[in-house]
Structure 1
Amino acid sequence: MWWLVTPGNPLKDPGQLAPLDERIAQARRVATDPRIIVTGFEAAIGSRYTVETLVWLRRHRPDLRFVWIMGADSLGSFHRWRRFEEIARLMPIAVIDRPGHTLAAPAARAARRYADARLPEFEAPALPSRKPPAWVFLHGPRSALSSTALRAGRSA
């Protein structure tokens, strides 16, 4: 799993962000599983938007089957992301349940837009091989950990 630490979220105040190298170091302290690779490569490729990153990945690694992973909290604003419909057509999406978003996320504007592309949770293992748009909402242990809490030096 690649944990992409963004150079900046266009939907958030850039003045609230710590420098990229600090945020990468914070993410690495949290990502203790050796299967998680924390990277800030979006800055190196000059990507400002998720859609640009996903296009780059598809172009440079056509041999891999990617799944975009987002928190259920992000699904609520997904329709505001630059070219969100293209993102949904580029690769399957796994939405991870987050505290306070279990009921709201599936009712989000983007979730309703792609309701017919939603897979039942038990089909999640097949997601990498599904032709997009395809997405699944994954329930399970929920973490209250957030980038805001990490920046504040808290664990929740």
Structure 2
Amino acid sequence: MWFAGPARRAPPAGRPAGLRLDLVLTPGMRVGLFGGSFNPTHEGHAHVAETARRRLGLDRVIWLVSPQNPLKPAHETAPLSERMAGARRYARGRAMVVSDAETRLGVQYSLDTIRHLKARFPGVKFVWIMGADSLATFHRWRGWTQIMAEVPVAVVSRPWISLRSRFSPAARRFAHARAPARAARIVPGADPPVWVFLTGPLNFQSSTELRKRMARRGD
């Protein structure tokens, strides 16, 4: 069986005393964590966030705008303030929350973010959200197997890479933990490791192509 009941509570991750986060979450909420550089944000990001919100039945989707993606060059990354503003333009609706929690926490890796938030908000049912392009390189993330052990994961289809991502090292390693898409609403309360691949209408925008266009225009 790919799930065994409510997710286990994470042990305290440790955090700076008195640190304030820009998040208000209560026990029992189903919350998606959508991390990324958002450099720049585009409709593809909105598609991933909204697809996950709808299919998983989430109360909130938190867009975690990273201070700096360790796998991407710093000189190609716009200032955090610009990326936050861009994310807010696309994070539509009250269920979408744009946050600089990783900067406030002083963390760089998704695993650390997840552990901090689980410790700060016990009883919240967190789900990590990613596009299929991220699943294709997930095995390069620091502590990726531990992320799978910490929270359920939802992968949303993206153009060109969806098929390849389903045969990626991470997908093969955790093939036994893949839930059927029809059971997506059960995933937020499932015991990790568990992940689900969600398909739907594809949005063809990408941050890489947008940056190339902006460079050609001299923006």
TM range (shorter): over 0.9
TM-score (norm 1): 0.93
Find the counterpart in structure 2 of residue 148 from structure 1.
Answer: 208
Structure 1 residues not aligned, in runs of 5+: none
Say which of 127, 133, 138 aligns to 2:193.
Answer: 133
Instruction: Give, as a single letter, the amino acid of the residue that structure 1 aligns with 2:185.
Output: P
Q: Secondary structure at the match of 2:166?
A: helix
After superposition, the C-alpha distances for 1:102-133 in whole angstroms (9 at most, x for unaligned) are 21111000000000000010011000111000
Contact 1:3 1:37 in 2 (8 A): yes
Does residue 122 of structure 2 align to residue 62 of structure 1? Answer: yes
* Runs of 4+ displaced beyond 2 Å: 144-153
The one-letter code of the counterpart of 2:158 is R
2:152 is equivalent to residue 92 of structure 1: yes
**Bigger relative contact order, structure 1 or 2, given CA contacts below 8 A and separation 6+?**
2
Mapped partners of 1:12, 1:96: distance in 2 = 21
1:34 is aligned, of 85, 94, 103, to 94
Cα distance in 2 for residues equivalent to 1:131 and 1:150? 38
Question: Deviation string for 1:3-42 (max 9, x for gaps)?
Answer: 1111111011111000001000001111122210011110
Query: Structure 1 counterpart of 2:192, which letter?
Result: P
Q: So what's the TM-score if we normalise by structure 2?
A: 0.67
- Aligned equivalents of 2:69, 2:196: Cα separation in 1: 24
Give aligned-pair identity as a percent. Answer: 46
Rg comparison, structure with higher value: 2
1:54 and 1:146 mapped to 2: Cα distance? 25
